[in-house]
Amino acid sequence: MDHATTLRAMLHRPEIVVLPGAYDALSARLAEQAGFDALFTTGFGFSASALGAPDIGLLTMSETMERVRHIVRAIDVPLVADMDTGYGNPLNVIRTVRECVESGVAGIILEDQEWPKKCGHFENKRVIPAEEQVAKLHAAVEARGDSDLVIIGRTDARGPLGLDEGIRRGKLYHEAGADVVFVEAPQSLGELRAIAGAFPRGTPLFANMIEGGKTPLLTAAELQEIGFTMVVYPLSGLFSAAKAIGETYRALHDTKTTASRRDHMVDFHEFEGIVNAPGWRDIETRHSVR
């Protein structure tokens, strides 16, 4: 069973699918080693780690796909890739989807913001007409062919147009072929409940939990009870890394040693295990000409 088929089957299991956000191959390996059976690529994390910039549409499709491929090769669990708007019109979406299928991606998110898009929890977002996004989703369904690629249809309409329009678009996108519905950035528990209550029971629904974002933080169990099928914690790893790295660098700057931070660090040999140095040494030994 390939990873896309595995992810599709996960949509029908009783417990909610919990996806940690990975922003590079190392964070993806750490998430897999922590026990997660599926992962998510965070567009904000890609932009922050590659450019030191926020999620405001600065990365191209090719730059995003390069990072996605690195992650796919580094792990052995299904990966959901945040592919923003599909990077253009239906023709661009077709190319984007084909690239994802060929790269072994298990699922993708396609959103309805105007390009350049912004983080879903930023202000002043703009969305394209719903019928244009429907056309893009039709193109995505066609482009995935006979693969089991899971398509997550995301709408950012809640911010600029209100919750009712977000729900309306979610229904349209599901009818257009999105396997999972993602109404981004609801702003209260009541709105989360309204989203879940607006769809027939069993409709796969996606929630996004960002520490400090617009949506109240709930546990996966609470979201499951409401009626959500998948939940992503896209920036938890990135935020944790930013805090830990910043504190270590400040300690080094102030004290000229890392002694006070050793309990917050893995050591050299532990890190070798994280990046599978023994496995690479074995390959080197087996293929050495000496």
CB 271: neighbour CB atoms within 10 A? Answer: 12
Cβ–Cβ < 8 Å for 178, 151: yes
* 132 and 274 together in one domain: no
Q: Which of 173, 234, 161 is nearest to 198 (CA)?
A: 173
Q: Beta-strand (E) ranges in the chain?
A: 17-22, 39-41, 79-82, 107-111, 150-155, 180-183, 206-208, 230-233
Q: Is the pLDDT of residue 104 over 80?
A: yes
Cβ–Cβ < 8 Å for 170, 157: no
Query: Residue 8 carries which side chain, given as an amino acid letter?
Result: R
Q: Is the pLDDT of residue 56 over 90?
A: yes
Cβ–Cβ < 8 Å for 96, 69: no
* 147 and 258 together in one domain: no
User: From its phi and psi, is residue 54 left (phi > 0), alpha (psi between -120 and 50) or beta?
Assistant: beta
- Interval 199-233: pLDDT, tens: 999 999 999 999 999 999 999 999 999 999 999 99
Q: Is the pLDDT of residue 290 over 80?
A: no
**Residue where a domain terminates, one of 216, 236, 256:** 236
Cβ–Cβ < 8 Å for 184, 152: no
59-73, 153-167, 180-194, 275-289: which range is least confident on average? 275-289
Q: What's the pLDDT at 162?
A: 98
Q: What's the pLDDT at 16?
A: 98
Q: What's the pLDDT at 67?
A: 98
Query: At 167, is the secondary structure helix, strand, or coil?
Result: helix
* 186 and 280 together in one domain: no
The CATH number given to whatever domain includes residue 123 is 3.20.20.60
Q: What's the pLDDT at 249?
A: 98
Cβ–Cβ < 8 Å for 74, 274: no
Q: Is 131 exposed, middle or buried (0-12, 13-18, 19+ CB in 10 A)?
A: exposed
DSSP state of 230: E
Q: Is 139 exposed, middle or buried (0-12, 13-18, 19+ CB in 10 A)?
A: buried
* 232 and 246 together in one domain: no
Q: How far is residue 37's CA from residue 176's CA, in Å, rounded to a whole number? A: 28
Query: Average of pLDDT values for 128-138?
Result: 99
Domain of 171? 3-236
Task: Count structural domains, the chain.
Answer: 2
* 77 and 166 together in one domain: yes
* 26 and 139 together in one domain: yes
Q: Which of 45, 16, 11 is nearest to 28 (CA)?
A: 45
**Residue where a domain terminates, one of 236, 255, 274:** 236
**Confidence category of residue 117, pLDDT binned at 50, 70, 90:** very high
* 217 and 275 together in one domain: no
Query: Average of pLDDT values for 176-203?
Result: 98
Q: Is the pLDDT of residue 145 over 90?
A: yes
- Residues, the chain, total? 290
Query: Average of pLDDT values for 32-54?
Result: 98
* 156 and 69 together in one domain: yes
Q: How far is residue 11's CA from residue 94's CA, in Å, rounded to a whole number? A: 24
Q: What's the pLDDT at 98?
A: 99
Q: Which of 162, 84, 82, 161 is nearest to 118 (CA)?
A: 84
Query: Residue 14 carries which side chain, given as an amino acid letter?
Result: P
**What's the token pair of residue 178?**
């999105």
Q: Which of 57, 66, 11 is nearest to 37 (CA)?
A: 11
Give the list of residues 6+ apart from residue 74 with CB closer than 8 angstroms, or none.
25, 26, 28, 29
Q: Is the pLDDT of residue 31 over 90?
A: yes
Query: Average of pLDDT values for 8-26?
Result: 98
**Confidence category of residue 289, pLDDT binned at 50, 70, 90:** confident
**Confidence category of residue 288, pLDDT binned at 50, 70, 90:** confident
* 273 and 210 together in one domain: no
Tokens 């599909």, residue? 86
Q: Is the pLDDT of residue 5 over 90?
A: yes
